[in-house]
Structure 1
């Protein structure tokens, strides 16, 4: 009886392992295509051993029995589904090739064996060396491709328009190459969620056709290119858009106000362009109902980066609509008017540097202030540094230089302060505070009316520099000397 049960168990386990083996074994044609693909590439064996270990020979497996229980030792060189960087489906078709940073070089030709792996769903050749190679036009022969990553690999030339025919495409990463020419239309890629074409040499303008109808698109990064023309309004209201990064291009013109019903956009970066006119009110209506972001699930805050443009007019009161404003950077524009009081509730970074903002800093920093960087330098602000700024216990950087403030030294500031710039104002009085700033690394109080000695400020990190100064850190009316 025991022998019969043992025999049945052995047959059962053999049958299970046989089914698993047959179900997962690489098909012969798939192995052939992979070996042909390997022959097309050059690879640095000192960086990666992955392609070196691909081998046409070898058996699939070996069965051994221990106490009537079968065990199986795989010979990885036999079944290409077991090769490093390869993943197969249950039928033995290759569905994934993942080879980032493996010292690969060479050229992907139009007749490459790659395009015969028609079940391929994911391809990652990022951080390799395909310098002087153009992206081939044959990717439409991979109808199941959902993820394509060719970033940081030296590709040059135009982006093939055939990429826009990949109807299953979810993620496209082509950043940090040498790509030129216009951006093709992707409106057939209805499943597209993430497109990153940043840090290239792309040119031309955008139209409403480029991303029309892409209801799942959550991230567009076209930054650091040479794109021009005006920015299509529909980009701001794509149904799932969370992150829109168009900085460091040559976009021009005025962005007109449009009607917003709902939007999930919480990161907007248009900095480093030539956008003019007033800030449209709808920018700060984009975030009225934030859903859980897809790209940073633990970040429930808004970021607006509009620095280095040609924006004019006042900072609109509609900015107060934006909930959970984390970073607002409007620096280096031509904005005027006063600072809306609600801005003091910005959570991390408030940067209005290099505008024509006037009036006083609102004295409304709350006891829950979490501001880390506060920069209103190079404006036309007057009055005093508000006492409530002392509520910002996390403040690391404060720059109010080149304004018309008239006040004594702001002793109320956070003990964790690292950078303090008060230069070119009308600050006055003795440099004497009851507390010190042990982490302060940069202090600029030049071109003011301070008197006294610097070492009375009790700044331990700068004291050694002061004591070595021939002037003992003494101040005159216009400069601070060490």
Structure 2
């Protein structure tokens, strides 16, 4: 026993000195590589610290084996921009097993052929590196290669072109991962790619491939298959897949029905399925959903009844199809965080069973033909709900005034329905509310002063029956029956204006809601684009009280009276202002931003004067006279105009005379050219 113990100690003491002790030839190659590369020293976190004083096996980005050979080189994010094409230093690191050149900028050069000299490579990552050109056969035929990232998840990554030949993948028996998304690869997907025995993940999306031979089966080891935007017209034959759990065939040209055998892939192990942006019209019957977590069928041509999602669903998107009938009452999404059936042709009422989904963060039933009232459980029980969009339907009744004290709503969109009554006072329980759209309904109420306690960015009240004066602090309204003195509004407390394109009629774009992805799935489930797009004309966008962001200010088509508050001119970041068609009077305040607004912002107010209305250059001075037309200034303006005209005529005559002399007088022309030659010699003595 003692002998075994001392033998172990002896072995450890013998090995430790060798482990990580850099060999001289390896250090020389690394230092030569460092000195040959072009990189940004200020941004470098690895190369810039390589020097003679430290063991190279301890350098950042370098790993060695027990004999001191460099086996791993991670130069990702070093901002390398060139001089790697023929690097004798890099390609002589013959023991190298892992090479990571991701997140650099090689400026569109071809993948170096010298990489094929690294015969021991098992991992190669060239993602986001800026390579271009053909996929080199020499690179793909590295026999020991198991993992190839080139490139992964970025539209700004490489620009590889050409076709993938069948010879590229012959003999790669150990290759497990192929990431070639976001390139410009074309042609057919080679059959040998589907015959790699160790392949687990295949990601070829967002290229310019033609349809592949869908009769070629993938071997059973494949676990992740991402073939989005590959111009597939048929479903690949996936019958034999026993381990596939993530399948993405989105943005292709798949037609007809989803074959029912697809639900049996992996013997029920399929959990992520994305078939969005295709031409699919139905599901082949009979079908039985497996225990899917993510089911994305949006933007197809599905018709008929809405398929009941599996109970295990976390993310379900049926939006932008042609589903009809009502939402089934047997929809139970106990663990779902996202459910959207927007932009279909659904009718009937919102089923109470939807309230069983107490973990929902996004619920979107918008743009259908739903009727009935809003189920009380939606505002009461969904404590995690961040987006509730049931606008553009035929809902009636009132909004239940039972929003819970731990309300998490960020967006509440009820626009274009037939809702009536008052705005619920319990909305004060939703402190992080950012968008409230109740426009185009039948509400009869005064201004919702309780919203001063929220983080509201967008408030749409247009086309209702609001009434009353503007006595609510730090609040305003538009396109209803509001009246009152606009100067009572405390505009000086408003901050955080959102910028916009001055040349376009502005609008709020979309609200993105982040929520955790499921089981490592990184598809579209990570974000929700809230399609509450706000039209500015005839509507109101406001920040109330202490709101941190106010969008565009539109108070047009109301009965507002009084003067425009001077405080408005202090909002230096305001990008859009519309005060037209009210009963405002007095001088328009002066300020940097006010000078950028056109006449359309103030028209329809007979009592206004000053820039930029029609009399902007004729605004009255303090003595009642007309500035700009007194003390002989009209005559001065004419003199200035004639000065410009005289200067222009003088230049034209002088320039014309010079040109005529050069063209018709040889002596004058030679003299000019000689002077010009002397001047050039002073600046370019070697000329």
- Fold shared by both chains (TM-score > 0.5): yes
For 2:143, the equivalent position in structure 1 comes to 118
CA offset digits 1:55-82 (Å, max 9, x no partner)? 4886xxxxxxxxxxxxxxxxxx454447
Which of 146, 166, 172 is the aligned partner of 1:137?
Answer: 166
Q: Does 1:372 align with 2:410?
A: yes
Q: Does 1:417 align with 2:451?
A: no
For 1:178, the equivalent position in structure 2 comes to 208
Hey, what's the Cα distance between the residues in 2 that align with 1:311 and 1:191? 41
Instruction: In structure 2, list runs of 5 or more residues that go unmatched.
Output: 1-10, 24-63, 72-78, 103-114, 152-156, 316-334, 495-541, 544-551, 554-563, 569-576, 585-600, 603-687
Change (3 A) 1:347 1:249: same
CA offset digits 1:334-392 (Å, max 9, x no partner)? 44444333333252112223333344333332111111111122233333322222211
Q: Does 1:195 align with 2:221?
A: no
Hey, what's the Cα distance between the residues in 2 that align with 1:182 and 1:379? 47
Which of 475, 480, 488 is the aligned partner of 1:448?
Answer: 480
Q: Does 1:104 align with 2:131?
A: yes
The answer on whether the counterparts of 2:99 and 2:121 sit within 8 Å (CA) in structure 1 is: no
SS state at 1:285 partner: coil
Q: Does 1:47 align with 2:76?
A: no
Judging by fraction of residues, say which structure has more helix.
2
Q: Alpha-carbon deviation of 1:169?
A: 2.7
Hey, what's the Cα distance between the residues in 2 that align with 1:457 and 1:404? 26
CA offset digits 1:122-153 (Å, max 9, x no partner)? 1112121123x123334353232221111112
Change (3 A) 1:174 1:366: same
| Rg larger in structure | 2
For 1:248, the equivalent position in structure 2 comes to 277
Hey, what's the Cα distance between the residues in 2 that align with 1:206 and 1:418? 45
Change (3 A) 1:422 1:189: farther
Hey, what's the Cα distance between the residues in 1 that align with 2:81 and 2:212? 35
Structure with higher RCO (Cα < 8 A, 6+ apart): 1
For 1:430, the equivalent position in structure 2 comes to 469
Change (3 A) 1:150 1:191: same
For 1:347, the equivalent position in structure 2 comes to 385
SS state at 1:163 partner: helix
Q: Alpha-carbon deviation of 1:325?
A: 0.7
CA offset digits 1:432-469 (Å, max 9, x no partner)? 324x47xxxxx8x5442222245656564369966368
For 2:341, the equivalent position in structure 1 comes to 306
Q: Alpha-carbon deviation of 1:167?
A: 4.0
Q: Alpha-carbon deviation of 1:416?
A: 0.7
For 1:32, the equivalent position in structure 2 comes to none
Hey, what's the Cα distance between the residues in 2 that align with 1:250 and 1:165? 28
Change (3 A) 1:288 1:328: closer
SS state at 1:350 partner: strand
Change (3 A) 1:241 1:470: closer
Change (3 A) 1:53 1:159: same
The answer on whether the counterparts of 1:254 and 1:276 sit within 8 Å (CA) in structure 2 is: no
SS state at 1:106 partner: strand
Hey, what's the Cα distance between the residues in 2 that align with 1:430 and 1:183? 70
Hey, what's the Cα distance between the residues in 1 that align with 2:445 and 2:99? 70
Hey, what's the Cα distance between the residues in 2 that align with 1:255 and 1:396? 42
For 1:283, the equivalent position in structure 2 comes to 309
Hey, what's the Cα distance between the residues in 1 that align with 2:285 and 2:459? 38
The answer on whether the counterparts of 2:250 and 2:277 sit within 8 Å (CA) in structure 1 is: yes
Judging by fraction of residues, say which structure has more strand.
1
Change (3 A) 1:173 1:353: farther
Change (3 A) 1:180 1:51: same
Hey, what's the Cα distance between the residues in 2 that align with 1:426 and 1:233? 52
The answer on whether the counterparts of 1:366 and 1:388 sit within 8 Å (CA) in structure 2 is: yes
Hey, what's the Cα distance between the residues in 2 that align with 1:321 and 1:211? 35
Q: Alpha-carbon deviation of 1:172?
A: 2.4
User: What is the aligned residue count?
Assistant: 407
For 1:318, the equivalent position in structure 2 comes to 353
Q: Alpha-carbon deviation of 1:396?
A: 0.7
TM-score (structure 2 length as normaliser): 0.50
For 2:363, the equivalent position in structure 1 comes to 328
Hey, what's the Cα distance between the residues in 2 that align with 1:333 and 1:154? 39
Hey, what's the Cα distance between the residues in 2 that align with 1:348 and 1:364? 16
RMSD, aligned α-carbons? 4.4
The answer on whether the counterparts of 2:119 and 2:143 sit within 8 Å (CA) in structure 1 is: no
TM-score (structure 1 length as normaliser): 0.68
Hey, what's the Cα distance between the residues in 2 that align with 1:431 and 1:256? 60
Q: Alpha-carbon deviation of 1:269?
A: 3.7
Instruction: In structure 1, list runs of 5 or more residues that go unmatched.
Output: 1-7, 27-44, 59-76, 290-299, 438-442
Hey, what's the Cα distance between the residues in 2 that align with 1:311 and 1:453? 45
Q: Alpha-carbon deviation of 1:24?
A: 6.2
Which of 253, 263, 273 is the aligned partner of 2:291?
Answer: 263
